[in-house]
Amino acid sequence: ELFLQTAERYFMVGHRVTYYVFTDRPADVPSVPLAEGRQLVVLEVRNYARWQEVSMHRMEMISNFSRQRFLREVDYLVCVDVDMKFSDQVGVEILSPLFGTLHPSFFRAPRESFTYERRPQSQAYIPRDEGDFYYAGGFFGGSVAEVLRLTSACHQAMVVNQANGIEAVWHDESHLNRYFVYHKPTKVLSPEYLWDEQMLQRPPFLKRLRYVAVPKNHAEIRH
């Protein structure tokens, strides 16, 4: 509810927007008043026993629904975690054929400290001398066609990993980072588009926080 309420206040105000909400509990999605030209579409998906699988399967879900309907219905996809809230304007400045967001924990860190997948046998493997940034899995997007390419590639890589008994160190985020190493985003967003005030101290040069985590008990949610 908070996600939708704050999105109506801050996200793409004045533009046509379709909120596609993936959930295994469609009856629990709240009714929130939407502005003209904006609609909510609830897409029922299956549940998984482990939170890691829920996270990883989002790539499969996005790619499947892109083929089934997104290509016909919208121009751009903005793929975000829903356990967040908007706290400042997020508009068309983010749009580009393919965009990623700098992870708030690593945007000032040296490449050696990035938590890339380092096992060569994994499909998400990134050598230590490659990679520009560490991207967050919770805010990425672009044109539907480009997002379809990204999510399909990541999903196929996960299928291969699973067949080989491998789970990337940071799940879908590891595969996203691998994809961005070899398919450079056309736009890179700063951490003001994805921030967690409970876990990170806000640096003075970060004047605005546009999309932020809400307080939650990670252990309780995940287990």
Write out the binding residues. 81-83, 103, 115, 173, 196
Q: Binding site for UDP-N-acetyl-alpha-D-galactosamine, residues?
A: 81-83
Q: Which of these, 19, 80, 63, lies nearest to 214 by C-alpha position? A: 80
Parallel, antiparallel or unpaired: strands 17-23 and 84-86: unpaired
Q: Alpha-carbon distance 51 to 42, whole Å?
A: 20
Kindly list the distances between the CA atom of residue 77 and the CA atoms of 21, 28, 36, 129, in Å, as whole numbers in the listed order: 12, 24, 19, 31
Q: Can you say which residues are annotated as belonging to the binding site for Mn(2+)?
A: 81, 83
Collapse the DSSP code of 32 into the 3-class scheme (helix H, G, I; strand E, B; otherwise coil) and give the result: coil
> What tens-digit pLDDT sequence spans the chain (223 residues)?
999 999 999 999 999 999 999 999 999 999 999 999 999 999 998 676 655 655 567 899 999 999 999 999 999 999 999 999 999 999 999 999 999 999 999 999 999 999 999 999 999 999 999 999 999 999 999 999 999 999 999 999 999 999 999 999 999 999 999 999 999 999 999 999 999 988 788 888 899 999 999 976 555 544 5
Q: What residue spans define the domains of the chain? A: 1-213
Contact residues for 31 (Cβ-Cβ < 8 A; gap 6+): none
Q: Residue 173's closest CA among 112, 124, 211? A: 124
Residues belonging to the active site: 173
Tokens representing residue 192 in the block: 């003001």
Instruction: Determine the CATH number of domain 1-213.
Output: 3.90.550.10
- CA gap 87, 158 in Å, rounded: 33
